[in-house]
Structure 1
Amino acid sequence: MKLSADLRAFEGRIGHRFTRPALLVQAVTHGSFAAVGRADNQRLEFLGDRVLGLVMAEALLAADPAATEGQLAPRFNALVRKETCAEVAREAGLGEVLKLGRSEMISGGRRKQALLGDAMEAVIAAVYLDAGYQPARDMVLRLWGERIGRVAEDARDAKTALQEWAQSRGMPPPSYEEVAREGPDHAPRFTIEARLSDGRSARAEAGSKRLAEHAAAKALLAEVESGT
Structure 2
Amino acid sequence: MKILLTFIGNHDPFVGKEKEKGPILSILEKRKFDKLYLLFNNDKYWNALFEMEKYCNRNFPQMKVEFREAKSLNPIDYNLVYPAMYQTVKRILKENQNAHYTISLTSGTPTMHACWMFLVQGKVINAKLIQISKETGISEVTFRLDDFPAIQQADEIKVELTKLSRENEQLKKSINLENSLKNGFYIPDEGINIDKEIIPAYYKGALNKTNGNAAKAAKLLGLKPHTFRKRLKALNLNLKKFGVK
TM-score scaled to structure 2, two decimals? 0.22
| Pair member with larger Rg | 1
Larger fraction in strand: 2
Kindly indicate whether structure 1 or structure 2 has the higher relative contact order, using CA contacts under 8 Å at least 6 residues apart. Answer: 1
TM-score for the superposition, normalised by structure 1: 0.23
The structure with the largest helix share of the pair is 1
